[in-house]
Structure 1
Amino acid sequence: MARNPIQFQPGLSLPAFLEQYGTEAQCQAALFQHRWPKGFVCPDCGNTTACRLSRGLYQCHRCHHQTALTAGTIFHATHLPLTTWFLAIYLLTQRKSGISALQLSRELGVSYNIAWKLKHKLLQVMHERNQGEKLSGRIELDDAYLGGERPGKRGRGAEHKLPFLAAVQTDAEGHPLRVQLRRVSGFTLTEIRRYAQQAIAPGSQVISDGLGCFRAFDTPLYVHDCHITGGGRASVENPEFNWVNTLLGNVKNAITGTYHAIRGQHAPRYLAEFEYRFNRRYDLKAMIPRFLTVAARTPPMPYRFLKMADSYA
């Protein structure tokens, strides 16, 4: 049996990573290239010439504004060396099931609190990058929840359960191409219409179960194939939902094995992590430079926003 070329691709080895990004100078040069690919641009006046000061700042020749390489990016005001950031990016992008903040703190040699902040800032980059992407073609769609049973209210309305949508775009042979994992406020017609407008391209064939909110796709914009699956094992084994069920199983197994539990306000970033990695799995070696391009354009995310941020987008 032939090996899956995507699954068995070599990826970026740790020695190869260290050869490219093992020193602070290498990391600074890489970030400069991704932030200013055509050369320095002053964030105040747009001038393209500057000198580098001894403190590592760049001073514009025209307006004399001084800016740091990391200013205005996700690395803004960091006290950590860029080598630590880059190693964290490597660990987050190259591991299929992710890495917990606790394990990240051990790998990086920093405290848990620092590792948590760093990890969630990097997940924010993934989250913001995913928002502009739409699925098209044949799409398997299903509703799902994060969170297990606890004493008290049970069922779909349980407060501890976090609703989200899982969608998989497949090719003509039925192979998965891209996925979406999007937190929603609930499974209502209004919410699913909002999701459809933002995330599903017109003309797509959407395959869903009989949940009432999926009637949002009963419009001329989409081809909606509704399959009444019922509950239990029969619904899971329905071939029309093969890949979306596989995706949900992988996501929940990774959460149980790596993170154990996810708080509601952080769920969009964790879901974005799985989505980001899966959709870019075709070229593991390119994930770090692609990530740096987005990170250099992602605005700062202060800790107070990391703690309270919640988004249904």
Structure 2
Amino acid sequence: MPMNRIQFQPGLSMPEFFEQYGSESRCEAALERARWPEGFRCPCCGTWAHCVLRGANRKMFQCNACRHQTWLIAGTIFQGTKLGLTIWFLAIYLISQAKTGLSALALKRHLGVSYPTAWLIHHKLMHAMAAREERYVLSGQVQVDDAYLGGERGGGKAGRGSENKVPFVAAVSLSDEGHPLRVKLSPVPGFTLKAIAVWASTNLAVGSTVCSDGLACFSAVTEAGCVHQPTVVAGRKPKE
């Protein structure tokens, strides 16, 4: 059986994670690099010169010019937490590595914290991940398809238009070699021209080439400045 390159792609092992982020100081250094890649600069006056203080076991930067003080965790998802950054970083690692998702209850057991604390960490991290994804739009060559999410329920209409299912647009941008780059799964009111036009305006970059199976509503991507390339499936002419 051929090896699935996606399943066996290199990642960050747990020993490697603890080697890089196994102490509070290492987590602080990583957060500082992420926030200020070129070094700390006062957000008030823009001065580079500063000194580092310690307060309540938290790292603080004080500007040498205006004396403004900035906590390392201020303005981040860690702001106001009493937990160590090692707990937060471990939670980030566990959630990002779980292919089928990780519940707050499972996170509680892994982190050794109370369930309300685990729930709050889980909620904050998932919200931050969703907010980050919303900032990105798909560009270049993009493949789209209709999808539905929901459990089985007796009665009602089956297939498209079922009241038991939530319609989603599944879209993936591809590299020049045809490899997936970024994926978006977006709920939509329905697969109508209006709904897809609204979706395309917020999720696709102008000039993108959108490939679909010919479902009529996907022609609306042209309203967002994209090129639509329907693909003939099973010898049938795409509906436009």
TM-score, normalised by the number of residues in structure 1: 0.63
Q: What is the deviation of 1:151?
A: 6.7
Q: Matched residues in 2 for 1:118 and 1:149: separation?
A: 32
Equivalent runs, 1:33-44 vs 2, <5 Å? 33-44=33-44
Q: Is the 8 A contact 2:91 2:111 kept in 1?
A: yes
Q: Which runs of 5+ in 2 are unaligned?
A: none
* Partner in structure 1 of residue 230 of structure 2: 225
The yes-or-no answer on 1:130 pairing with 2:108 is no
Which structure 1 residue ranges, 5 or more long, are not aligned? 230-237, 239-313
> What's the secondary structure of 1:142's corresponding residue?
strand
| Cα separation, 1, equivalents of 2:36 and 2:89 | 18
Match of 1:215 in 2: 219
Instruction: Write the letter of the residue equivalent to 1:213.
Output: C
Change in Cα spacing, 1:118 to 1:2, as seen in structure 2 (3 Å) is same
Spell out the pairing of 1:301-312 with structure 2 (5 A cutoff): none
Partner of 2:184: 180
Relative to 1, partners in 2 of residues 1:186 and 1:112: Cα closer, same or farther, differing over 3 Å? farther
1:19-76 superposed Cα distances (whole Å, 9 cap, x missing partner): 1111111111111111112221222332222222331332222222222110011211
Change (3 A) 1:49 1:184: farther
Structure 1 stretch 31-40 or stretch 181-190: which is displaced more?
181-190
* Inter-partner Cα distance in structure 2 for 1:168 and 1:19: 34
The equivalent residue for 1:60 is 63
Alpha-carbon spacing, 1:11–1:79, altered in 2? closer, same or farther (3 Å): same
Mapped contact 2:209–2:226 kept (Cα < 8 A):
no
Contact 1:218 1:224 in 2 (8 A): no
Is 1:166 the counterpart of 2:170? The answer is yes
Which of 84, 87, 112 aligns to 2:87? It is 84
Give the counterpart of 1:73 among 76, 83, 95.
Answer: 76
Q: Distance in 1 between matches of 2:105 and 2:6?
A: 29
- The answer for the alignment partner of 1:14 in structure 2 is 14
CA distance in 2, matches of 1:73, 1:121: 10
**Aligned equivalents of 2:145 and 2:207: distance in 1?**
19
Check conservation: 1:208, 1:227, Cα contact below 8 A. no
- Cα drift, residue 116 of structure 1: 2.1
Mapped partners of 1:180, 1:93: distance in 2: 16
Separation of aligned partners in 1, 2:155 and 2:43: 53
After the TM superposition, which of the residue ranges 171-180 and 197-206 deviates more from structure 2? 171-180
Offset of residue 202 of structure 1 = 3.8
TM-superposition CA deviations, 1:259-288 (whole Å, max 9, x none): xxxxxxxxxxxxxxxxxxxxxxxxxxxxxx
- Larger relative CO (CA 8 A, sep 6+): 1 or 2? 1
Q: Work out the CA distance in 2 between the residues paired with 1:191 and 1:23.
A: 48
Q: Distance in 1 between matches of 2:44 and 2:155?
A: 55
Cα 1:144–1:3 shift into 2, 3 Å: closer
- Over the aligned positions, Cα root-mean-square deviation in angstroms equals 2.9
Structure with the higher strand share, 1 or 2: 2
Partner of 1:261: none
Find 1:196's aligned residue among 190, 200, 220. Answer: 200
Q: CA deviation at 1:104?
A: 1.1
The match for 1:243 is none
Q: Do the aligned residues in 2 keep the contact of 1:135 with 1:200 (CA within 8 Å)?
A: yes
Aligned residues: 229
Identity percentage over the alignment?
A: 52
Deviations 1:200-228 (A, max 9, x none): 23443323345443230356731330557
2:84 and 2:122 map into 1 onto residues whose CA distance is: 15
Q: Does the residue aligned with 1:141 lie in a helix, a strand or coil?
A: strand
